[in-house]
Chains A and B, each alone.
Chain A
Amino acid sequence: MSAPLLELRALAKSFGGARALRGVDFDLQAGEVHALLGENGAGKSTLIKIVTGAHQPDSGTIAIAGQVVEQLSPAASHELGIACIYQQPALFPELTVAENIALRLEPSAALRRIDWRTRRNIAGRLLAQIGAEISPETAVRKLSMPEQQLVEIACALGAGARIVIMDEPTASLTQQEQHLLYDVVRDLRASGVGVIYISHRLEEIFSLADRVTVLRDGESVGTHRVSDINEAQLIQMMVGREMTHIYPPSEAAPGAVALALRGVGCAESGVRDVSFEVRTGEIFGLAGLVGAGRTELARVLFGLTPLDAGEIQLDGKKIAPSSPADAVAHGIAYVPEDRRHHGVVLELPIAHNMTMAIHRRIFSGAWLRFGAERALALDFIRALAVKCRGPEAPAASLSGGNQQKVSLARWLATKPRLLILDEPTQGVDVGAKSEIHRIIRDLAKDGLAVILISSDLPEIIGMSDRIGVMRGGTLTAILPGNSDPHAVIAAALGQNGRGAAA
């Protein structure tokens, strides 16, 4: 066999203290579709970023077509024929499809005359090649996300990429669009391109890929031919760790129903027909893949996107939060997923961040009371063990875990009835992680209703009293806490237990 198109050996990368990759081996042959599988946070995106040159590895080697590459910059990666189709395409929204494609393909001399007809023809040909029914004349801002992805693929195709990385390309596609995309991938393979295909859909991997590599905790745990392995074995490889992390035991004595959803839907964000109840003192876990609609549901509950179907009851009263301020007034608190942009205001001091949602309560008459604020901040800093210089330190000076505690403190200060936690331990070091788990437990014990959204499977199983599994914008299953991880993964992947049982 000739040298592989791409060969990664013992690749390692750390961010601050967190080890994202601990030694990944991976190879890609020409004319093969190699699937990369792993839970969120297993290191897939770091791996992609290294291959596309966005990050430099700490150690390990990268070889392309047998040549070891010392320094891989984005430009060099591009030159070597590596193209990546991201979930969020980096296109020019104001320009047409044809132009977007042309800007990637044409030389960058400024005084070159543009041949619009050729541009249109090339774009039309590339789009036709991947079976996309998009007019080259449309402005990209008018395209849907999947359509923009197809444009990205057309760009990669036109650039003559030898290695194409696809990051969950079908996550937001319709059935028909998916099949078109599968054909595109097969065509790419037939023409000798190596495709790294990242997906959570097992059926897709089995029908499309030649080989599959599973990543877990930043390590490659195995590479197999798809024909040599079945779904159950794959799930086992993904999950297959002993519980390294001790979760605090549940002391739940769930009380009355705090939150009840009946057929909740939001057309804008694709949430439809969600019904469940959360009791006081209960931790209700929401599992599912990225894009399954969990964050979208939380946003509806918090008044960020409009509720347009079904009803929400809080403590038996029907509510329809119209804005975050309204939701807060109803006693709903939401610790968002994007900590740096939504959870805290990085430039502001810790104390300001903590009191941001309780201006009315703590500052009567809108006058700031620095003493009361400082006391409250110090209380929370002590109670949540926030490691910081003091309440005046800006949130940006904290580590991820401590920022998360500040975000949490802001919402605990509102004394909510319902606390929604969205990926509360993502990007948080191990120590802070178990502290946050203990805090969540204590809150539930004190009678708070908690919705815990997490992509960390052991976390959701270890923490939740019940687990709701979402898929495609709706709730597909409710499992008891401490369920078998395989069952949760299977439900999230839409296997209905069938694959796991096989």
Chain B
Amino acid sequence: MAATEQARRPAWKTLLFSYEALLLLVLVAEWLFFYFAGTTMNRRGVVVGFGTLDRQFDILRHSCEIGLLAVALTPVIITGGIDLSVGSLLGLCAILFGKFWHDGGLTIPTAIALTLVIGAAAGGLNAALITALRLPPLIVTLGTYSLFRGLAEAITHGAITYTNFPSAFLFLGQERWLGLPAQAWVSLPIGVAIWMLVHRMTFGRSFRAIGFSPDGARYAGLPVNRRLALVYVIAGVVSAVAAIIYTARLGQAKADAGTGYELFAITAVVLGGTSIFGGTGTVHGTMIGVAAIAVLKNGLACLPVVMRMNAAEEMSGLLTGALLLVALTAGVLPKIISELRARFHLGAKT
């Protein structure tokens, strides 16, 4: 029987046929395509374009901020919620960090610590409104999306840019350490920690149960409100971390930092196989999703055709949006097909 066969299917087989594996395959294919189509040799015989190691580090460097946001959004979306405010919070935290250091005269480590606290508090605001007042996350975080960005603009009068950070701090965003871009050493542990939280700890179990069935989770005695609060606070703190890395990479903090990042982060999460309805999703899927988007963006910039058009950024955005639509449609296609089939059979019988 098919059922028993499926039951005895070894773990590696399940893993091999998972959505994440498929996505990984797509990522590899994508990378190979750009490797062959986007790498050239210049007149002096030096390899330039997509295939260089520098380019790989660049991809990693650029995916850190979006990656952090996307990874933090994964548990939020698994619980069936959403957080639109992460990009704005990134901007607010970047500004506050700059202000703490520049105007407040704090040392960099103190400023970082304080910024993380701000991130947690901002996440806590979302959490409080969503859990205590049972307001829909979509509209709450839409409000804080506006609020956080607005505060950032108010603080900087829309004009001030904090720069001239010490080089020791800029190292975090612009240099390599032990072979990898420095920010990777910050982002990867956070990614791993959230992966652990979602896949290896009881918290992840609660997130899924809440996402599938909030009532079912409550009847099982799970602390639904505390778990929901946790995911939004994590999203806040991680946004603050992303803000610091962002500031270190660019060497400046401006009020428009991270504008539109929430869209890319959500796209990466959904592309990574997390259901927007809640319940299913993996952090590694999100990471592959982030990588796929980053490779696309960087790879396009290396294609001679696109370089002539000078539209790599836009084209990658376009393709990302289209990719999201395709992934969404693919997700519901089996259901639609079986519905149509049922209707057809029903029609044939009567």
Contact = CB atoms under 8 A, between A and B. Distances in A.
Contact of A345 (B3, B200, B209): B209
Best-buried of A71, A325, A327, A336 by chain B (most CB within 10 Å): A325
Contact of A368 (B6, B7, B202, B350): B202
A346 B218 CA distance: 14
A343 interface: yes
Contact of A344 (B4, B202, B216): B216
A224 B265 CA distance: 69
A357 interface: yes
A359 interface: yes
Contacts of A347: 212-213, 279-280
Interface string B198-234: 0011111110110011011111111100000000000
Nearest to B3: A389
B7 A389 contact: yes
Contacts of A341: 213, 215-216
Given A341-B216, A342-B216, A366-B203, A390 B7 contact: yes
B205 to A, nearest CB: 6
A389 B4 CA distance: 6
> Which secondary structure characterizes the binding site on chain B?
helix
Contacts of A363: 201-202
A342 B7 contact: no
A344 B217 CA distance: 9
Best-buried of A323, A343, A360, A410 by chain B (most CB within 10 Å): A323
Contacts of A355: 205
Given A341-B213, A390-B7, A334 B202 contact: no
Contacts of B205: 352, 355-356, 359, 368
Interface in A339-388: 341-348, 352, 355-357, 359-360, 363, 366-368
Interface string B152-187: 000000000000000000000000000000000000
Contacts of A336: 219
Given A341-B213, A356-B209, A390-B7, A367 B219 contact: no
A174 to B, nearest CB: 30
B4 A348 contact: no
Contacts of A360: 202
Contacts of B202: 359-360, 363, 366-368
Task: Bin chain B's interface residue count.
Answer: 20 to 34
Given A325-B222, A327-B221, A348 B201 contact: no
B201 A368 contact: yes
A487 interface: no
A218 interface: no
A324 interface: yes
A188 interface: no
A367 B201 contact: yes
Contacts of B212: 345-348
Nearest to A345: B216
A327 B221 CA distance: 8
A93 to B, nearest CB: 16
Nearest to A324: B221
A441 B6 CA distance: 35
B219 A342 contact: yes
Contacts of A97: none
A336 to B, nearest CB: 6
Nearest to B216: A345
A223 B146 CA distance: 68
A71 B219 contact: no
A368 B209 CA distance: 15
Interface in A384-419: 389-390, 392-393, 410
Contacts of A323: 221, 223
B63 to A, nearest CB: 28
Interface string A470-484: 000000000000000
A394 to B, nearest CB: 10
Contact of B223 (A71, A325, A348, A368): A325
A198 to B, nearest CB: 28
B220 to A, nearest CB: 4
Nearest to A363: B202
A479 B220 CA distance: 32
A328 interface: yes
Contacts of A342: 215-216, 219
B201 A366 contact: yes
Given A366-B201, A368-B205, 13 more contacts: A304-B218, A323-B223, A334-B219, A345-B216, A347-B212, A348-B212, A352-B205, A356-B205, A356-B209, A356-B217, A357-B221, A367-B202, A390-B7
Q: Which 9 A-B pairs have the closest CB atoms?
A: A389-B7, A328-B221, A342-B219, A359-B202, A324-B221, A356-B220, A345-B216, A325-B221, A347-B212
Interface of A: 71, 304, 323-325, 327-328, 334, 336, 341-348, 352, 355-357, 359-360, 363, 366-368, 389-390, 392-393, 410
25 contacts: A323-B221, A323-B223, A324-B221, A325-B222, A325-B223, A328-B221, A336-B219, A341-B216, A342-B215, A345-B208, A345-B212, A345-B213, A346-B212, A347-B213, A347-B279, A347-B280, A356-B209, A357-B221, A359-B205, A360-B202, A363-B202, A366-B201, A366-B202, A368-B201, A368-B205
